Amino acid sequence: MAALVCMAAVFAGASRAFLTSVMFAFETTQQPHALLPLLGACAAAYLVSGLTMRHTIMTEKIARRGVRVPSDYAADYLDRIAVGEACSREVVALRGDESLAEVRARLNAGGAAFRHQGFPVVDAAGHAIGVITRRDLLDPQWHADTRIGALLKRPLLAVREDHSLREAADHMVEADVGRLVVVGRAPPHAMVGILTRGDLLAAHAQRLRQARHVDRKFRSNARPQA
């Protein structure tokens, strides 16, 4: 029985096919009394393999060819977070009928609210009509009397607050923009915030912190007590 258990454990660790290793050994030998030792040995081998080996015998050759092989299967983290949870709610909006001189004066004043690289633009009714960047506002080719609304280069690009960050990221890539206006889920879909690339990176950073915390906690619990 020892040889059977060792064989199954080696296969479970090398392939990380835990249940397959147990069932294969059990069905081959039909020894019920070996089931518990098989479960224990294969579980231990699987755990050691996961902590010490980056690839399995099934993916090692593929990885050596330069193909990235994920070591585990997990849901897309960005797909699990709603835009409304990650966006910035305190938005500094510019009116479309403001002159460029007025806006530049506020930018030059250096207030914390005007340190952003992009600003949503709203109409007289307060509805978002587009986004303008700091670069466009400071571009010397535009006359000081130019209205902000006249500088908008494209229609409004928005995402609803109940959409996922994955949908928002895809929208950013397709439109080649660095920020999206966030609107409410119910009509009239009023602006509730703005989502930037920095917000997406912050969500990734949160995932990394959580993963490191879980890993440290696991290793701490696995360390033998003196």
52 lies in the same domain as 109: no
* HEC per residue, 47-62: HHHHHHCCCCCCCHHH
pLDDT band at residue 35 using 50, 70 and 90 as cut-offs: confident
The pLDDT of residue 146: 93
| Most confident range, picked from 109-123, 131-145, 210-224 | 131-145
Using the predicted structure, report yes or no on whether residue 59 has a pLDDT greater than 70.
yes
Mean pLDDT of the 217-221 span: 66
**pLDDT tens-place string over residues 36-45:** 888 888 899 8
108 lies in the same domain as 49: no
107 lies in the same domain as 166: yes
Write the CB contacts of 177 (distance below 8 Å, at least 6 apart in sequence): 131, 157
Using the predicted structure, report yes or no on whether residue 170 has a pLDDT greater than 90.
yes
The pLDDT of residue 6: 87
The pLDDT of residue 186: 82
The answer to whether residue 150 sits within a structural domain is: yes
Q: Which of 65, 95, 120 is the last residue of a domain?
A: 65
The pLDDT of residue 218: 62
User: Is 0.75 surpassed by the pTM of this model?
Assistant: no
| 130 strand-pairing partners | 121
Phi and psi torsions of 137, nearest 5°: -65, -30
The answer to whether residue 20 sits within a structural domain is: yes
**Domain, as residue range, for 109:** 78-203
The pLDDT of residue 224: 55
Count of domains for the chain: 2
Residue 130 sits in a domain whose CATH number is 3.10.580.10
Q: What is the mean pLDDT of the chain?
A: 85
Are 80 and 204 in contact by the 8 Å Cβ rule? The answer is no
The pLDDT of residue 13: 83
The mean-pLDDT minimum among 54-58, 124-128, 152-156, 196-200 falls in: 54-58
52 lies in the same domain as 149: no
Mean pLDDT of the 12-32 span: 82
Between these two residues, 76 and 145, which has the higher pLDDT value? 145
